[in-house]
Amino acid sequence: MARKALKLASWTSMALAASGIYLYGNKYLDPNDFGAVRVGRAVATTAVISYDYLTSLRSVPYGSEEYLQLRSKIHDLFMSFDDTPLGAASLAQVHKAVLRDGRTVAVKVQHPKVQSQSSKDILLMEVLVLAVKQLFPEFEFMWLVDEAKKNLPLELDFLNEGRNAEKVAQMLKHFDFLKVPRIYWELSTKRVLLMEFVDGGQVNDRDYMERNKIDVNEISRHLGKMYSEMIFVNGFVHCDPHPGNVLVRKHPGTGKAEIILLDHGLYQVLTEEFRLDYCHLWQSLIWTDMKRVQEYSQRLGAGDLYPLFACMLTARSWDSVNKGISQAPVTATEDTEIRNNAANYLPQISQLLNHVPRQMLLIFKTNDLLRGIEATLGIRASASSFLNMSRCCIRALAEHKKKNTCSFLRRTQISFSEAFSLWQISLHELMLRVKGLRLPSWAVALLCWLFPAPH
């Protein structure tokens, strides 16, 4: 029995280590998907729809008399309803339907008994994590349990998801490339969410983009702008950008590429202090100010592990961080080095994750998912994408300074400094494009001397 327990604990430790650290193979342990019970439930869920306002989420056997009665009730609401889900996950599944007034909608339905089962799953998770800690004290994963306890109730409240969707749509309304499906509140409850149906291909489907003449690099730039705005400017971050939740399409009216953002159950709200420190840190990383990299990494809880922290944030080696992440291109050798070193530094990574602010954990996950999309599409963050991040940081820091001064002269100075910094970035971006052209080396050198990179 002891041997079996030890084997289970060892397996759990390896599973946590292999899945919990984003540097290692682009796999990330999502606390909300943990537990064999939930996985089994997701697989076993039938195509039967159990509406909160019709059946109190009872499980109805497919083809039974009760199922047929339910179907007749559903037809009172819908002109048509697809039994086969468009997608199913651990907490819910989504079906396509047409309302009586002709609107095509997506219906997200929470699985039966998921509310009552979730507390048991978290308890199971806590027991396993404690068992791992007893056997391997250097591995600290209790933060997984804490995050699950905090986030799961929010994800199970579909009205909260609807409010998040409306908030981010308003927040990013100036991005004409972003589409957030409209919520139909009159037919939504805590366990059933009706929204506008919007079709598209998954963001990691390169073949779909090629067939529909969608520029992969343009989509990557749009994603970068969108998430930089969420993280650095607004501090309200969609934390589940896996390919099933990020679709792309050609807008039916304009023909322009468009990103469709789905599943708004999991958001991270950043405190102002965290957001500003994070802005300063990324500015320091982009412009290779290593003294400030150390300072702001330590302000964010990294301590003496700040080099590891910087590598985890950027997914680059420490050598590349020192050379400049916007200067040194990623090589296959560097990728291999990062993967190999991740296994060697698992105890330190575990320690770091246990000490950084909890807000950072979902940021790590979000960064990892976005990089996973880039890797699948065969692209990597370019210097241009780092400059877009820098623009957002400059705007966010300037806005904070203006908000905290009463002097008109001081606000004017801050606005001028902001405009000048943004102008420098635009010039630097122009220089990067010029370097891409086949100009004589003396001409490139002269332009670099006239328009140096901003600091």
- Read out DSSP for 189-257? -SSEEEEE----EETT-HHHHHHTT--HHHHHHHHHHHHHIIIIII-EEE----GGGEEEEE-TTT--E
The pLDDT of residue 53 is 33
Partnered with residue 260 across adjacent β-strands are 179, 247
State what percent of residues in the chain have pLDDT above 70: 76
Question: Residue 201: its pLDDT value, please?
Answer: 95
When the pLDDT of each residue in the chain is averaged and rounded to a whole number, the result is 78
Extents of the domains making up the chain: 120-182+199-269, 405-454
Question: Averaged over 186-192, what is the pLDDT?
Answer: 88
Question: Which range, 1-15, 86-100, 200-214, 374-388, has the best average confidence (pLDDT)?
Answer: 200-214
Q: What confidence tier does 47 reach under pLDDT thresholds 50, 70, 90?
A: very low
Mean pLDDT of the region 371-379: 81
Measured N-to-C along each axis, helices 383-403 and 272-286 cross at an angle, to the nearest 10 degrees, of: 140
Model pLDDT, residue 183: 97
Residue 253 to residues 8, 257, 258: CA-CA distances in angstroms?
Answer: 56, 11, 11
Q: Which position has the higher pLDDT, 69 or 351? A: 351
Is the pLDDT at 446 greater than 90? The verdict is no
**CA separation (Å) from 210 to 65, 206, 213, 242, 373?**
47, 6, 5, 20, 16
pLDDT at res. 18: 34
The pLDDT value recorded for residue 92 is 86
Each residue's pLDDT tens digit, 214-232: 999 899 889 989 999 999 9
DSSP 265: S
Read off the pTM: 0.77
The residues, any chain, with a CB within 8 Å of residue 107's CB and separated by 6 or more, are: 49, 81, 94, 95, 96, 97, 192, 193, 194
Both structure tokens of 209? 């983009």
pLDDT computed for residue 378 by the predictor = 77
pLDDT recorded at residue 396: 93
CB 96 within 8 A of CB 84: no
Amino acid at 442: W
Query: Within 10 A of 105 (CB to CB), how many other CB atoms are there?
Result: 21
Residue 16: band (very low, low, confident or very high) from pLDDT cuts 50, 70, 90: very low
What pLDDT, in 10s, does the model give residues 318-368?
998 998 887 777 777 888 888 787 778 888 888 898 889 989 988 998 888
For residue 85, pLDDT over 60 is answered with yes
Catalytic center residues? 240
The pLDDT-based confidence of 9 (bands split at 50, 70, 90) is very low
pLDDT on residue 32 = 38
For the chain, what percentages of helix, strand and coil (3-state, to nearest 5) are there? 60, 10, 30
pLDDT tens digits for 122-136? 788 888 878 877 887
Q: Which residues contact 2 (CB under 8 A, 6 or more apart)?
A: none
Q: What is the pLDDT of residue 63?
A: 61
Residue 291's identity, in one-letter code, is K
List C-alpha distances in Å: 306 to 246, 298, 319, 329, 405: 32, 6, 14, 22, 32
Percentage of the residues of the chain whose pLDDT score is greater than 90: 36
Distance between CA atoms of 128 and 79, rounded to whole angstroms? 47
CA distance 288 to 395: 19
Q: DSSP character for 56?
A: T
Average pLDDT for 44-61: 37
Query: Looking at the predicted structure, is the pLDDT value of residue 154 above 90?
Result: no
Question: Is the pLDDT reported for residue 410 higher than 80?
Answer: yes
> From the CA atom positions of the chain, what is the Rg in Å?
24
246-274: pLDDT as tens digits: 999 998 888 899 999 999 999 999 999 99
Lowest mean pLDDT among 110-114, 179-183, 431-435: 431-435
